């Protein structure tokens, strides 16, 4: 398997991995809000937003590679 084939597999894996983590972050942020820890929830939500930005970059990289 060459580097480009590996890149296709890795990028696809990382995209799905990040999407899963983003969902978890958002759910956990909501739970923190319900416990009265809004500031902490906001920071976790910020991490979810940054994860989304990273995932978008990985998607673009995958499109370029294809």
User: Are residues 15 and 66 in contact, defined by beta-carbon separation less than 8 angstroms?
Assistant: no
Q: For residue 1, what pLDDT is reported?
A: 84
Model confidence at 58: pLDDT above 90:
yes
The string of pLDDT tens digits covering residues 26-44 is 999 999 999 999 999 999 9
What 3-state class would DSSP assign to 17?
helix
What ranges do the domains of the chain cover?
3-65
Give dist(CA 48, CA 60) in Å, integer: 19
Q: Give the Å distances, CA to CA, from 3 to 6, 9, 12.
A: 5, 10, 14
């Amino acid at each position: 398997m060459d580097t480009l084939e590996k890149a296709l597999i890795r990028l696809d894996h990382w995209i799905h991995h990040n999407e899963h983590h983003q969902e978890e972050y958002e759910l956990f942020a909501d739970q923190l809000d319900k416990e009265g820890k809004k500031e902490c929830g906001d920071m976790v939500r910020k991490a979810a937003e940054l994860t989304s930005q990273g995932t978008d970059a990985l998607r673009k990289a995958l499109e370029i590679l294809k």
